[in-house]
């Protein structure tokens, strides 16, 4: 009984064990006490990550609207009997890349059809307006299609840059941190884990931050590039459809 009483008394004197800080607290503490070079590296990676996510969210919104407006525009285009009816709805569906292509082709058609026509040989009747060059209409559609693809691809290459460069920036921060850690080991002449581990942990945070910035950039770059490819294919199909209608009605 005396032994049990002594043990209880010793536990009371010692008090409850202090709770160990969680992983989040440890990471923040490591960042705060890291070197200036490591903080600069982490700041650069943070900028890359924030800009990348801003581009990702913006382009997802742009592509969603472009796909929805393109679907509506194609329905209107295929149900309309006149190009002027399609032109009337272009302002409400301006986020579709097909609108820019249609307007370029429509403008070229009007420019050719407004040219004066010769009088008919018999009876002085006017000749039916015809296209002078279907190739000119095709070139106008190609120029408009290239411009629309460039607009869809804008800012997306930054994601590829982020995906390729941020792991190396993080690796640089890690190498720098390991160098400082080994310098500390040489200064203290101690290989104790309690001395080595904090410096190594600080160094590895940079690699983790680089991967955190690079992995979403890789995924969304491939995803957005695939959506650009699908919309470019849709624009090519629409250009051919526009040319077929122009050839049937104006040649």
Indicate the SS3 state at residue 117: coil
Is it the case that residue 220 has pLDDT exceeding 50?
A: yes
Is it the case that residue 19 has pLDDT exceeding 50?
A: no
**Mean pLDDT throughout 171-178?**
87
Domain-located, residue 230? yes
Q: What is the pLDDT of residue 70?
A: 95
Q: What confidence category does residue 8 fall into, taking pLDDT thresholds of 50, 70 and 90?
A: very low
Domain-located, residue 20? no
Distance CA 167, CA 169 (A): 5
Q: Are 47 and 214 in contact (CB under 8 A)?
A: no
Region of residue 190 (phi > 0: left; psi between -120 and 50: alpha; otherwise: beta): beta
Kindly report the length of the chain. 251
Residue range 73-107, pLDDT digits in tens: 999 999 988 888 899 999 999 999 999 999 999 99
Domain-located, residue 31? no
**Mean pLDDT throughout 8-14?**
43
Average pLDDT, the chain: 82
Q: What is the pLDDT of residue 21?
A: 47
Is it the case that residue 10 has pLDDT exceeding 50?
A: no
38 vs 158, higher pLDDT: 158
Exposure of 52 by Cβ count < 10 A (0-12 exposed, 13-18 middle, 19+ buried)? buried
Cβ of 31: how many Cβ atoms within 10 Å?
15
Domain-located, residue 12? no
**Mean pLDDT throughout 198-204?**
76
Q: What confidence category does residue 203 fall into, taking pLDDT thresholds of 50, 70 and 90?
A: confident
Here the tokens at position 73 are 């525009």
Domain-located, residue 58? yes
**Mean pLDDT throughout 29-57?**
88
- pTM for this structure? 0.78
Q: What is the domain count for the chain?
A: 1
Q: Whole domain around residue 108: which residue ranges?
A: 36-114+127-250
End-to-end CA distance of the chain: 112
Domain-located, residue 53? yes
Residue range 118-159, pLDDT digits in tens: 555 445 555 666 778 889 999 999 999 999 999 999 999 999
Here the tokens at position 134 are 């279907």
Q: What is the pLDDT of residue 17?
A: 42
Domain-located, residue 73? yes
Is it the case that residue 11 has pLDDT exceeding 60?
A: no
Q: What confidence category does residue 112 fall into, taking pLDDT thresholds of 50, 70 and 90?
A: confident
Domain-located, residue 5? no
């Amino acid at each position: 009984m005396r032994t049990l009483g002594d043990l209880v008394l010793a536990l009371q004197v010692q008090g409850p064990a202090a709770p160990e800080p969680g992983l989040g607290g440890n990471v923040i503490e490591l960042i705060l006490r890291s070197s200036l070079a490591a903080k600069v590296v982490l700041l650069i990676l943070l900028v890359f990550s924030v800009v990348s996510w801003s581009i990702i969210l913006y382009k997802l919104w742009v592509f969603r609207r472009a796909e929805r407006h393109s679907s509506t525009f194609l329905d209107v285009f295929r149900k309309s009997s006149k190009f002027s009816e399609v032109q009337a709805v272009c302002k409400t569906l301006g986020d579709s890349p097909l609108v820019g292509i249609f307007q370029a082709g429509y403008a070229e058609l009007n420019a050719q059809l407004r040219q004066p026509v010769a009088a008919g040989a018999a009876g002085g009747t006017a000749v039916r307006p015809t296209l002078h060059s279907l190739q000119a209409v095709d070139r106008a559609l190609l120029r408009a299609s290239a411009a629309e693809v460039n607009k869809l691809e804008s800012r997306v290459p930054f994601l590829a840059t982020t995906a390729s460069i941020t792991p190396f920036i993080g690796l640089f921060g890690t190498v720098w941190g390991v160098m400082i850690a080994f310098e500390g080991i040489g200064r203290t002449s101690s290989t104790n884990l309690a001395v080595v581990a904090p410096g190594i942990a600080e160094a590895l945070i940079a690699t983790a931050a680089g991967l955190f910035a690079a992995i979403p950039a890789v995924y969304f770059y491939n995803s957005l590039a695939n959506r650009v490819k699908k919309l470019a294919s849709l624009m090519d199909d629409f250009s051919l459809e526009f040319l077929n209608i122009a050839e049937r009605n104006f040649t």
